[in-house]
Chains A and B, each alone.
Chain A
Amino acid sequence: MADVKLHGFWASPFSYRVIWALKIKGVDYEYIEEDLSNKSELLLKYNPVYKKIPVLVHGGKPIAESLVILEYIEETWPGNPLLPSDPYEKAMARFWIQFAVAKASVYRAFFVSTGGEDQEKARKDWLEVLKILEDQALGDKKFFGGDTINLVDISYGVLAYWFKNTEEVIGIKVLEPTTLPRLSQWVQNFMQVPVIKENIPDSHKMLAYLRIVREKIIVAEQHNK
């Protein structure tokens, strides 16, 4: 069996998407931590277009972009399937995964918001995105994937862990039981899934890291004004 390596970064939700998928499928892999301030030659060779992690390397052949990697993992190791087999349901799953990509800028706007009207608007816009997710993607299901998690849940892992930490850094709660009861329950359920519970970054480290990242972006954006 060709060997599997994952170039990742300890704080990245995109890195964790791949880790979760590999673990669910019981795929052995070697994890290589990348220093994003000093990217390895290997990373630049494996992902010349974006120079980003995660990169999965299977039998020496690199694949970049977490969602592309997830589809590759699903196809190469079909046990414990993470996508519906029905083509229409599969298209719907992919639609909701793409929805996260389409709304990333709304998340970002909230992440870097500092106060006043701007922040209030960012919060409202993000709340609206979460409401659509809760209403139309999740509905009354336990997970986006039904009774068990699938690629849609894995794609939204960023909400369950990174966003909760972001709320603490910013000091504003958006994803709460009073406004988003079903999505809040999903967060609880998702974080209890063994493969997720056993594979998340250290909370203290994450909070400190998010604070630094947010500061940096805010300062940079102020310079650009």
Chain B
Amino acid sequence: MAEVKLLATWPSPFYYRVVWALKSKGIAYEFIEEDLANKSPLLLQYNPVHKKIPVLIHGGKPICESMIILEYIEEIWPKNSLLPNDPYEKAVARFWIKFADDKSPEIWRVFRSVGEEQEKAAKDSLEMLKTIEEHALGEKKFFGGDKIGMVGIAFGQLAQWLQVIEDVTGVKLLEASEFPRLQRWINNFKQVPVINENLPDYDQMFAFFKGRRQMLLASK
């Protein structure tokens, strides 16, 4: 079996997407910690175009971009499938995955800004949450089913990183009363063993992102 390595940094939510996919399929891998402030020759060699993590390296060949990595993992190791079999359901899943990637950056804009810019980012973030609540979730336990899949993993940032952003910035976005389905999904998602056992420590995350925000604002 060709070896699997994962080049990434803690506590990137994109890194965790790949961890959850690998772990849910029981795939052994070696984690290589990357220092983004001092990018390694390995990273520059494996992701010359974007110079970002995560990068999955399978049998020496690099794959970049977290959702592309997940599609690759799904194809190479089809056990414990993360996508529906039916082509239409699969297309619906891919639509929501794209939505997650298009809109999730809004919560990070809240994290990085203050004043008017932050207000706008908060508004856009709420729009995104509303859309998920009204159109994506339905009545099922997870997006589209009884088990977690690629869509849930794609929205994984909302399950822990969103709360850190809220606590660090003091901007509350997800009120359980306004987003009951989303809150229920978060609770269910975090209880799934593969997620539960592979979430960054909350206090460490809080300290890390608090420090980051201070640095960001100081440099403005």
Q: Contact at A94–B68, with CB atoms within 8 Å?
A: yes
Residue-wise interface mask of B (68-101) relative to A, using a CB-CB cutoff of 8 A (1 in contact, 0 not): 1101100110000000000110111011001100
Residues of A within 8 A of B75 (CB): 87, 90
Pick the contact of B87 from A48, A65, A72 — CB < 8 Å?
A: A72
Docked CA distance A203–B150 (Å): 41
- Looking at chain A's contact residues, the main secondary structure is helix
Residue-wise interface mask of B (51-76) relative to A, using a CB-CB cutoff of 8 A (1 in contact, 0 not): 00000001001011100110110011
Pick the contact of A136 from B48, B69, B95 — CB < 8 Å?
A: B48
Docked CA distance A136–B45 (Å): 13
Pick the contact of A132 from B49, B72, B99, B135 — CB < 8 Å?
A: B49
Knowing A72-B87, A75-B87, the reply to whether A91 touches B95 (Cβ < 8 A) is no
Q: Contact at A58–B88, with CB atoms within 8 Å?
A: yes
Pick the contact of A68 from B49, B50, B91 — CB < 8 Å?
A: B91
| B131, CB-defined interface residue at 8 Å | yes
Knowing A69-B91, A90-B75, the reply to whether A95 touches B65 (Cβ < 8 A) is yes
Residues of A within 8 A of B65 (CB): 94-95, 98
Q: Contact at B94–A68, with CB atoms within 8 Å?
A: yes
Q: Contact at A67–B72, with CB atoms within 8 Å?
A: no
Docked CA distance A140–B17 (Å): 35
Question: Which partner residue on chain A sits nearest B92 by CB separation?
Answer: A63
Knowing A58-B88, A72-B87, the reply to whether A48 touches B63 (Cβ < 8 A) is no
Q: Contact at B68–A95, with CB atoms within 8 Å?
A: yes
Docked CA distance A154–B82 (Å): 27
Residues of A within 8 A of B72 (CB): 87-88, 90-91
Q: Contact at B88–A63, with CB atoms within 8 Å?
A: yes
Question: Which partner residue on chain A sits nearest B48 by CB separation?
Answer: A136
Residues of B within 8 A of A167 (CB): none
| A76, CB-defined interface residue at 8 Å | yes
Docked CA distance A68–B92 (Å): 8
Pick the contact of B99 from A49, A90, A92, A95 — CB < 8 Å?
A: A49
Residues of A within 8 A of B49 (CB): 95, 99, 132, 136
- Give the most central of B50, B68, B95, B98: most A CB within 10 Å: B95
Q: Contact at A49–B131, with CB atoms within 8 Å?
A: yes
Docked CA distance A90–B92 (Å): 20
Docked CA distance A61–B91 (Å): 11
Distance (whole angstroms) from the CB of A93 to the closest CB of chain B: 10
Question: Which partner residue on chain A sits nearest B50 by CB separation?
Answer: A102
Question: Which partner residue on chain A sits nearest B98 by CB separation?
Answer: A65
| A176, CB-defined interface residue at 8 Å | no
Docked CA distance A83–B45 (Å): 25
Distance (whole angstroms) from the CB of A7 to the closest CB of chain B: 15
Binding site for B on A (CB under 8 A): 48-49, 58, 61, 63-65, 67-69, 71-72, 75-76, 87-88, 90-92, 94-95, 98-99, 102, 132, 136
29 contacts between A and B (CB under 8 A): A48-B135, A49-B95, A49-B99, A49-B131, A49-B135, A63-B88, A63-B95, A65-B94, A65-B95, A65-B98, A67-B98, A68-B98, A71-B91, A72-B88, A75-B90, A76-B87, A87-B72, A87-B75, A87-B76, A88-B61, A88-B63, A90-B71, A90-B72, A91-B63, A91-B68, A91-B72, A95-B63, A95-B64, A98-B65
- Interface pairs A-B: 7 shortest CB-CB: A72-B91, A91-B72, A87-B75, A68-B94, A63-B91, A75-B87, A91-B63
- Add 16 more A-B contacts to A75-B87, A94-B71 (CB < 8 A): A49-B131, A61-B88, A63-B91, A63-B92, A65-B95, A65-B98, A67-B98, A72-B87, A72-B94, A75-B90, A87-B75, A88-B58, A94-B68, A95-B64, A102-B50, A132-B49
